[in-house]
Amino acid sequence: MEDMLFYDRIQFAFTITFHYLFPQLTMGLSLLIVYYKGKFLFNKEEIYNDAAKFWMKIFALNFAMGVVTGIPMEFQFGTNWAKFSELTGGIIGQTLAMEGMFSFFLESSFLGLFIFGEKLLGHKLHFVTGFLVFLGSWASGYLIIATHSWMQHPVGFEILENGKFVLTNFGALFSNPWLLPSYLHNQLASLVTASFVMAAIGAFYILNDKHHAFGKLFVKTGVIFGFVASVLVAVPTGDLAAKNVVKYQPATFAAMEGIFETEEGGSEIVLIGQPNIVDKKLDNKIAVPNILSFLTYQKWDAQIKGLNEFDEAVHPTNIPGLYYAYHIMVGLGTIFIGLLFFAIVQLFRKKLYETKWILYSLVFLLPFPYIANTMGWYTAELGRQPWLVFNLLRTSAGASPTVSAGNTLFTLLGFVGLYLLLGLLFLILAGKIINKGPQLVKH
């Protein structure tokens, strides 16, 4: 049973990690495309329209990859997690069906019109189609995170005698206190990814002395949007999301921060340390006293419960994994804010495009927002374990009892091979689009 559950979890983790490489870019990029198209309508400078069309090519490629890799996610609810689907389908089926029927079709339909319909529609209607693509992609994220938020903090339900969860208050799904901070945090994080991708490609053009006008435009847009989004990811959205964890999942928060013993007189914030589960402490830690108490409760001496205050049965399953995922996410976010701040300063000094170390840094950091987003999701998912529905349905009770470990391992190896090929194909196609670059149409 343990082997079966392990492979079920590994397969889901691998497929959803690979899948989410694509939506995080499309959601952020859709907003930047709307910005470029709106800028073109406002000042009639053709470079903005051409920039929007160039990035829509990248968007469309990502969207296609997201669809291909997203379909297996739905099937795994019925194969590997059939018991979870049986027990909670009356609730999560609501939001997942709405995401598929409304958001996905809205996004995909108007994506085709945006790509092929500019001459037919005219620029104003073309802008509307781009805005509807943006709306569909962000609505999709909202409905997915509504599902995730219910699993983290279940509301508006009752449990029948047969163990099935039934929805008693539809509105509660969308007024869940966990939902809005998580959604805004996630969407702004996707904007960070899109901004870094845009800035990195712009920096690549400048450093290679090609598509110079577009390179400058992409770097400027990416740096400005990226800096604003990176700050908002930390404060207020990250702060609000963390406060939800403190309130509703205190043992998870203690594990995230590496707090094993409750500290009197205020809790320190750990910058570096290694969790020692055997001795229940952090090894080799570097910490700043009282900061965590102030950030959490706005009181320097506020007490934060350590893991010793909670029954080990409700401790997160993988405390080191949770701790490292959270600290990698926070550490990378801090680096993003620092680099982009220097880039903003150089932009205002009109020296950004000649500051080679910043341009090279933007190119080098291109993969790291993807890593930060992935670590953010790992923090959320590892923090909820050992529960599928927090405090109500254990992960071990949601797996399919008739799918063997061998079957799951076989299909996992198949996914790994197939996704490596898909990833290689994506990189080749994206590389061709980037190498060709945007085309400035002269009228």
Buried b (16+ CB within 10 A) or exposed e, 17-27: ebbbbbbbbbb
Q: Which residue would you say has higher pLDDT here, 439 or 212?
A: 212
Q: 276 is in which domain, residue-wise?
A: 209-403
Q: Distance of CA 212 to CAs 47, 141, 354, 431, 439, Å?
A: 12, 34, 12, 18, 12
Q: Which residues contact 35 (CB under 8 A, 6 or more apart)?
A: 221, 225
Q: Give the model confidence (pLDDT) of 311-330 as tens digits.
A: 998 899 999 999 999 999 99
* Mean pLDDT of the chain, nearest integer: 94
In this prediction, residue 442 has a pLDDT band, given cuts at 50, 70 and 90, of low
As given in the structure block, the two tokens for residue 77 are 């609810």
In a domain, 333, yes or no: yes
Q: Is residue 202 one of the residues assigned to a domain?
A: no
Structure tokens, 30: 């859709």
| Spatial CA neighbour of 189 closest among 152, 153, 141, 156 | 141
The pLDDT, as a whole number, for residue 443 is: 47
CA–CA distance, 17 with 70 (Å, rounded to integer)? 11
Q: Name residue 286's beta-bridge partners.
A: 272
| Residue 98 clears pLDDT 80, i.e. is over it | yes
Domain assignment of residue 28, yes or no: no
Based on DSSP, count helices (H) and strands (E) in the chain, helices before strands.
Answer: 17, 6
Domain tally, the chain? 1
Query: How does pLDDT run across 4-34, given as a tens digit for each residue?
Result: 899 999 999 999 999 999 999 999 999 999 9
Residues of the chain with pLDDT > 90, as a percent, come to 84
Distances (CA, A) of 348 to 77, 214, 343, 352: 50, 18, 9, 8
* 296-315 confidence digits (pLDDT tens): 888 898 889 999 999 998 89
Q: Please answer whether residues 316 and 383 qualify as being in contact, where contact means their C-beta atoms are separated by less than 8 angstroms.
A: yes
189 touches 233 (CB < 8 A): yes
pLDDT at residue 363, rounded to an integer: 98
- pTM (predicted TM-score): 0.95
Residue 74 pLDDT class (50, 70, 90 cuts): confident
Residue 334 CA: distances (Å) to CA of 61, 267, 287: 30, 21, 16
Instruction: Evaluate whether residue 325 is within a structural domain.
Output: yes
> For 182-191, 218-227, 254-263, 372-381, which range has the lowest pLDDT when averaged over its residues?
254-263
Residue 159 belongs to a domain: no
Q: Is 168 a member of any domain?
A: no
Confirm whether 37 is domain-assigned: no
Read off the tokens for 189: 């994080």
Per residue in 116-171, pLDDT (tens digit) is: 988 899 999 999 999 999 999 999 999 999 999 999 999 999 999 999 999 999 99
Task: Identify the pLDDT of residue 109.
Answer: 87
Q: pLDDT per residue over 402-414, tens digit each?
A: 888 999 999 999 9
Residue 1 lies in a domain: no
Q: How many CA atoms lie within 13 A of 192 on its CB side?
A: 33
